[in-house]
Amino acid sequence: MRLSLRGLRTQILAWSVLPTLIILLVVAYFSFWAYFRVTEVLVMDRNRELTRLLAGQMGLEMAEYADRLASLDEGRQRAQGQAPMPWLPYLAGHLPYLHDFDSGVVVVNETGLVIAADPRRLDLLGEDWSDRSHFRRVQTQPVPLLLSDIEYDGPEGHPVVAVAVPRLDDDDQIDQVVIGLFAVQSYAGSAFYRSLLRLDLRMESRVYLVDSQGRAIYHHDTDRIGTDVSDQAAVQAVQAGLVGAWRGYDGVDEEIVASYAPIPQTLASLIEEESWTDLRRISLGYGRVLVAILLFAVLVPAGIVSIAIRRITRPIKNLTIRADAISRGELGQIVDVPQGNELAALAQAFNRMSRRLESFYASLERRVEARTRELSAMNEIAGVVSQSLNLEDILAAALDKVLELMDMGAGTAYELEPGSNTLRLIAQRGLPSTALSERPEVELDEFLRQESLAEGAQVWPRERFPGLSLWQALAREGWHQVIMIPLVCRGELIGLLNLRARTPRMLGEQELKLLTGIGSQIGIALENARLYREAGALAAMAERNRLAHDLHDSVTQTIFTVNLLAGVIPALYEDNPDEAQLHLEELGRLTRSALNEMRALLLELRPATLAQTPLDELLARLGESTAGSARMPVHVSADSRLDIPPRVRVTLYRIAQEAINNVVKHSAADQAWIKLRRRRVKGQIGVELMIRDDGQGFDPSTVLADRLGLSIMRERASDIQATLEVQSAPGGGTTVRVFWIPEETSQEWEVPDIAMSKQRS
């Protein structure tokens, strides 16, 4: 048998060897990955500890220099007995002792003034060193500073670092500071750099020392000594006071492991770098060995499996031929059963399958028909209950459809009262006028306990009726079978369908599951109807509350004022007719205002009337109502010839309402203007609604978009594809402009070109 790329042999070989290969590759990959991760962790831990120890050792080395300066001061104190010997001759006499401080030794007083220096640095006498890092450090922490930041010394500004030892007086205040200076440069004669070289013993690593400003005090690359290396990630980390290690790339794209630690009692930190590439190169040899093992582990099993496949595929080919015949509809195919291996079981199973296929095909059509009937029933129920949002209509229609589907002649539909255990009769079909059928309410426990109904639809033959009074009444009326269908939504019982039959019928488990599903579907529709009913009630209550609030805030207050004036005017008329006449005019104005406000509220109660009223008339009523209630003149100028669709008309009116409300509540204005007109803006003709006041105004940049109803006005304008613009300034009033463009502009809209003004009207 030839090996074909699509043949069974190839597939068995591939599926036998491929998983092993994948597993081996995954194991090899994760082993290699884990090795690298462990290596990285171990190397970083090792380097972190080595660097920390090296920083400590360097601190000890620098402490020797501090001890030398401290002993210098102590020797001066003892040199002449009672009075200390002056610094200048003492330093001159001990110059060989100070040789390691290659940039000299100086003494500064408590203010930072240089008061003494060895003979090499007499040029520093009188200089003010109060701003140098080493002096500031010992001022804040009066302990020896083992190494300072790089400072620039002398006229030529040579970089130096310092060791500073303070001398305290009897009050523990700084009296003098002895400072030893080292030149920041790499040369063999520097004792300071020789001590650094002694610490840099690991050939595979590179060490450099930086001050708190990120400048290199010592560097393995001597050209970088004294330069700024703060762009290195390790330098930035150690400047933050951290001790640790980091793996990444240096400035020349070499992958490194950098460990870092601050040096105790100094302003300097130590950083050690090691090439990660060199560390990883050791692992490459293990990788080659691993690849060779993988190849061996794949090729040997592949050869063995290939030989075994030859013995397996012959019987399988025979099975394939017989299966192909069955696929063409030639049922009853039988194959020979091989002896002595698992293929015998396969052949026997194939023969059994062939014999069962005929019976299976015979029953398949019946099952498909039954399933189709179930889906059809569910669709019919869904169609019935979705036609209305009235709870009574839903239950009545559902009862009719379930009785039709189940071919049963009688039934009742109940709603479970929310928060109670009472079933309220909603609909009944096919029942004689008996005491039981006429009961409008039934307790749930008279049927069954709620826990029992939670199990789903149930069928009860007469011989198994519970011993409850209602069931005994059903038996007396001649019913021989009862089907209980709980109506459930979100796990809660909300109703019940009760189907009755005088002739029992058999119901299987599948039919009961279907009835349970129907009950859930009806329950969802009932819950939607309840929510719709509750939403309507809440909306009506909210509208009543809003109208009551508006009546209290507007008409009620106005009528109360009218009542007071009406009671005062008769008495006032006898004493002061002129003032009484003024009050009569005020009474008339208030009466007209109340009438306008009542008309506005009536418009709110009748949305259809609101949509049919011309916009100029609506705006005029709005102005009159506001002028009466707020006692603020509102000047309305509206073009009555504009033909605006009802939806746009209502939206523009609502925007004007919101804007005028803002004027009354927030602007402290003396008067307001409403203008409705046609305009041409940027070549487009449309309707412009403008509301303006002379109030205190505001800064639009400091007012949130959802304040002052601005977001509501913008949403309304967006609904009709209009643009809304708000212009205001503190003390300059506010202008709101809405510009709406009709979809089709007729000739009557043609007006002269007018540019949109960006200034306040």
In a domain, 586, yes or no: no
401 pLDDT exceeds 50?
yes
Do 285 and 390 share a domain, yes or no? no
Q: Do the beta carbons of residue 496 and residue 522 sit within 8 Å? A: no
Do 379 and 526 share a domain, yes or no? yes
Provide the pLDDT for residue 724.
Answer: 92
- pLDDT tens for 129-186 read 989 888 899 888 889 998 889 888 866 778 899 999 998 888 888 889 999 998 887 6
SS (H, E, C) 557-595: HHHHHHHHHHHHHHHHHHHCHHHHHHHHHHHHHHHHHHH
Give the dihedral sign, CA 625/626/632/638: negative
Distance CA 399, CA 407 (A): 12
Amino acid at 589: R
Higher pLDDT, 238 or 35: 238
Provide the pLDDT for residue 352.
Answer: 77
Q: Do the beta carbons of residue 440 and residue 426 sit within 8 Å? A: no
- pLDDT tens for 302-317 read 677 777 666 667 677 7
In a domain, 11, yes or no: no
Provide the pLDDT for residue 739.
Answer: 93
| Dihedral, CA of residue 500, residue 505, residue 510 and residue 513, to nearest 10 | 10
Q: Do the beta carbons of residue 114 and residue 108 sit within 8 Å? A: yes
Of 533, 553, 568, the position where a domain reaches its end is: 533
Q: Do the beta carbons of residue 243 and residue 234 sit within 8 Å? A: no
3-class state of residue 149 by DSSP = coil
Q: CB neighbours of 239 closer than 8 A, spacing ≥ 6?
A: 212, 214, 230, 269
Q: How far is CA 335 from the centre of its chain?
A: 63
Mean pLDDT of 123-134: 89
- What are the start-end ranges of the E strands in 602-683? 634-638, 672-681
Do 285 and 392 share a domain, yes or no? no
Q: Which residues on neighbouring strands pair with residue 443, listed in sequence order?
A: 422
Of 254, 275, 290, the position where a domain reaches its end is: 290
**Whole-model pTM?**
0.40
**For residue 710, which of 726, 733, 730 has the smallest C-alpha distance?**
726
In a domain, 137, yes or no: yes
Q: How far is CA 455 from the centre of its chain?
A: 41
**For residue 145, which of 234, 245, 69 has the smallest C-alpha distance?**
69
| pLDDT > 90 fraction of the chain, expressed in percent and rounded | 9
DSSP 417: P
- 650 — pLDDT class (breaks 50, 70, 90): confident
In a domain, 317, yes or no: no
Do 279 and 386 share a domain, yes or no? no
Of 533, 567, 588, the position where a domain reaches its end is: 533
- pLDDT tens for 43-77 read 888 888 888 888 888 888 888 888 888 888 888 87
Do 171 and 283 share a domain, yes or no? yes
3-class state of residue 328 by DSSP = coil
Do 506 and 632 share a domain, yes or no? no
**Count of Cβ atoms closer than 10 Å to residue 530 Cβ:** 16
Task: Give me the CATH number covering residue 522.
Answer: 3.30.450.40
Do 378 and 274 share a domain, yes or no? no
Do 261 and 386 share a domain, yes or no? no
Q: Do the beta carbons of residue 662 and residue 712 sit within 8 Å? A: no
What is the domain extent for residue 66? 44-290
Do 285 and 379 share a domain, yes or no? no
3-class state of residue 733 by DSSP = coil
Distance CA 453, CA 239 (A): 73
Distances (CA, A) of 363 to 357, 367, 368, 370: 10, 6, 9, 11
Token pair for 75 = 């020797």
Phi, psi at residue 168, to the nearest 5°?
-100, 150
- What are the start-end ranges of the E strands in 276-421? 410-416
In a domain, 37, yes or no: no
- pLDDT tens for 205-243 read 788 889 888 898 888 778 888 888 888 888 888 888 888
Do 628 and 502 share a domain, yes or no? no
Do 527 and 649 share a domain, yes or no? no
Do 395 and 504 share a domain, yes or no? yes
Split into its structural domains, the chain has a count of: 3
- pLDDT tens for 591-612 read 776 666 666 665 565 555 666 7
Provide the pLDDT for residue 693.
Answer: 94
Residue-wise over 140-170: b if at least 16 C-beta within 10 A, else e? eeeebbbbbbbbebeeeeebbbbbbbbbeee
Distance CA 616, CA 643 (A): 11
Distances (CA, A) of 737 to 87, 187, 395: 87, 81, 53
In a domain, 567, yes or no: no
Residue-wise over 722-753: b if at least 16 C-beta within 10 A, else e? bebebbbeeeebbbbbbbbebeeeeeebeeee
In a domain, 275, yes or no: yes
In a domain, 587, yes or no: no
521 pLDDT exceeds 50?
yes
- pLDDT tens for 317-375 read 777 777 787 777 776 777 777 776 667 777 777 777 877 776 776 666 666 665 666 66
Q: Which of 164-178, 243-257, 546-560, 561-575 has the lowest mean pLDDT?
A: 546-560
Phi, psi at residue 110, to the nearest 5°?
-70, -15
Question: Could you give the count of Cα atoms lying within 13 Å of 338 in the half-sphere of its Cβ?
Answer: 16
**Count of Cβ atoms closer than 10 Å to residue 101 Cβ:** 25
Task: Give me the CATH number covering residue 639.
Answer: 3.30.565.10
Pairing of strands 634-638, 672-681: parallel
Provide the pLDDT for residue 105.
Answer: 92
Task: Give me the CATH number covering residue 150.
Answer: 3.30.450.20
Provide the pLDDT for residue 740.
Answer: 93
Distance CA 451, CA 435 (A): 27
Q: Which residues on neighbouring strands pair with residue 459, listed in sequence order?
A: 483
- 536 — pLDDT class (breaks 50, 70, 90): low
Q: How far is CA 201 from the centre of its chain?
A: 53
DSSP 702: G
Residue with tokens 């099993």: 301
Distance CA 737, CA 723 (A): 8
